């Protein structure tokens, strides 16, 4: 095989140009002006070029007028030039890659990681008597099976898992399912009182309560404890339903649709005939509570929300403004950026196409997983979240595949609460 002199010249030229471009590709289209401008460009190997625009050298060329009718090379005055110094790559240890059931930690540099390490106490609240469908008492087990507890430990959080709360003798002796009504609330009253006591203990230990449900009646206990510990507490209730029915307005009698009516100050006394809840103190002002993702609200609930002037954002609002704008509006209304914030989330806030009917009261047209993660991420960045609960996960409903999907969705949501959104640290 013969190589001509021209081919050798062409190969040499390509190599020379390639090296030159790799060093200063960014500067190839940037004019060196004004003098003194500095630019730092980073290479793929981590090293960088620090370049400064130097003034042109003084001209020593005498310019003569060209003879008429002759082509001559036009003289160009001296130009300012880039002078570069190569800086070696810094050796910075990257955060280790840890994978727990498919959820990967970030590869961001340790010095850039912004995740706030917390002292977290996990508690399962296997309450099911706030509604008539069997299986929701196994929600905490399904959420744990996602590996979220192990993932948070791997990130570096201090985790204590208290297991499931003992909900009392009346609760355990009562039959599961059936037509549970507000006319027989002893089981729910005892169960939520135990949830209150357990949450209160976690707070007194200066830890973050993370609660897995169980039906949403559990919020009677958690919100009672949170508002007692944090007198200026703000709350965001993420749910397809308002859950603010009272004894007089509830069309179903299901107590998982009533928790907010027990803890909001302006509704004190509206459920006074339910003596099993005499331990509950309604401490939270209505102005400190907001709803997000509403789309199935009873007429009595609408009247209460309007009368109290509560912040409530429906799915139509999210479609109109976008989820990030809704989060901003919510925090502004309840002053959630300057107060401790508790977030109570029902899995039915997500669209039924996302969760596959693995909840007792699914409603079409809800949040996508992407919207849910964006919402939680913005709350993490903008507010001081002091507690979180995820309710109404029912593995007995929907298919086995849907159950696995909801476990994965729950894991991503809960990881995002602590700054690990989309599988990364933020």
**Which entry of 49, 137, 215, 239 is annotated as an active-site residue?**
239
Choose among 35, 48, 27: nearest CA to 90: 48
- CB-based contacts of 373: which residues, under 8 Å, 6+ apart? 412, 413, 416, 421, 422
205 catalytic? Reply is no
Please say if 392 is a catalytic residue.
yes
Catalytic residue among 49, 348, 354, 389: 348
Q: Which position among 137, 243, 298, 371 bears the catalytic label?
A: 243
Structure tokens at 65: 């007028």
- Whose tokens are 């029912």? That residue is 394
- The pair phi, psi for residue 172, each rounded to 5°, is -70, -25
Name the catalytic one among 241, 351, 378, 412. Answer: 241
Angle between helices 369-382 and 323-334 (to 10 degrees): 40
216 labelled catalytic: yes
Residue 157 among the catalytic residues:
no
Joined tokens for residue 304: 């209460």
Task: Mark whether 64 is an active-site residue.
Answer: no
Q: Which entry of 346, 354, 371, 377 is annotated as an active-site residue?
A: 346
Q: Which of 193, 216, 291, 412 is catalytic?
A: 216
| Residues 95, 75: Cα–Cα separation, whole Å | 56
Neighbours of 259 (CB within 10 A): 29
Q: Collapse the DSSP code of 94 into the 3-class scheme (helix H, G, I; strand E, B; otherwise coil) and give the result.
A: strand
Residue 187 annotated among the catalytic residues of the structure:
no
Residues near 388 by beta carbon (within 8 Å), at least 6 away in sequence: 208, 209, 210, 211, 342, 343, 344, 345, 414, 417
Distant-in-sequence contacts of 372-376, Cβ < 8 A, 24+ apart: 372/413, 373/412, 373/413, 373/416, 373/421, 373/422, 374/323, 374/324, 375/238, 375/292, 375/323, 375/324, 375/326, 375/327, 376/343, 376/413, 376/416, 376/417, 376/421
| Catalytic residue chosen out of the listed positions 256, 296, 298, 317 | 256
* Active site positions, annotated: 216, 239, 241, 243, 256, 346, 348, 392
């Amino acid at each position: 095989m013969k190589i001509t002199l021209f081919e050798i010249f062409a190969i040499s030229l390509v190599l020379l140009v390639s090296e030159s471009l790799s060093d200063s590709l960014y500067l190839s289209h940037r004019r060196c002006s004004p003098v003194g401008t500095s630019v730092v460009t980073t290479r793929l190997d981590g090293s960088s070029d620090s370049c400064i625009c130097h003034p042109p050298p003084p001209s020593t060329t005498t310019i003569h007028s060209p003879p008429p009718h002759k082509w001559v090379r036009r003289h160009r005055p001296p130009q300012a030039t880039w002078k570069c110094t190569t800086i070696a790559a810094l050796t910075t240890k990257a955060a280790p890659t840890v994978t727990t059931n498919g959820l990967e930690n970030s590869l961001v540099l340790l010095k850039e990681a912004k995740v706030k390490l917390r002292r977290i106490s996990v508690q399962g609240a296997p309450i099911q008597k706030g509604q008539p469908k069997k299986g929701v008492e196994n929600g905490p087990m399904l959420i744990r099976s996602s590996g979220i507890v192990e993932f948070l430990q791997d990130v570096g959080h201090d985790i204590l898992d208290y297991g499931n709360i003992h909900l009392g003798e009346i609760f355990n002796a009562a039959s599961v399912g059936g037509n549970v009504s507000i006319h027989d609330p002893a089981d729910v009253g005892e169960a939520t009182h135990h949830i209150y006591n357990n949450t209160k203990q976690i707070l007194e230990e200066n830890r973050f309560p993370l609660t897995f449900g169980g039906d949403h009646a559990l919020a009677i206990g958690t919100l009672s404890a949170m508002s007692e510990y944090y007198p200026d507490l703000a709350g965001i209730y993420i749910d397809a339903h308002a859950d603010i029915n009272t004894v007089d307005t509830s069309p179903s009698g299901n107590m998982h649709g009533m928790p907010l009516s027990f803890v909001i100050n302006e509704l004190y006394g509206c459920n006074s005939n339910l003596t099993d809840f005499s331990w509950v103190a309604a401490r939270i002002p209505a102005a400190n509570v907001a709803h997000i993702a509403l789309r199935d609200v009873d007429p009595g609930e609408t009247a209460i929300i309007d009368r109290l002037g509560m912040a409530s954002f429906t799915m139509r609002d999210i479609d109109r403004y976008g989820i990030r704008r809704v989060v901003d509006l919510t925090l502004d209304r309840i002053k959630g950026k300057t107060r401790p914030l508790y977030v109570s989330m029902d899995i039915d806030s997500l669209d039924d196409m996302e969760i596959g009917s693995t909840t007792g009261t699914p409603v079409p047209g809800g949040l996508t997983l992407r919207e849910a993660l964006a919402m939680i991420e913005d709350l993490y960045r903008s507010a001081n979240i002091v507690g979180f609960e995820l309710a109404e996960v029912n593995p007995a409903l929907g298919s086995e595949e849907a159950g696995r999907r909801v476990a994965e969705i729950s894991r991503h949501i809960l990881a995002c609460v602590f700054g690990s959104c989309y599988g990364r640290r933020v």
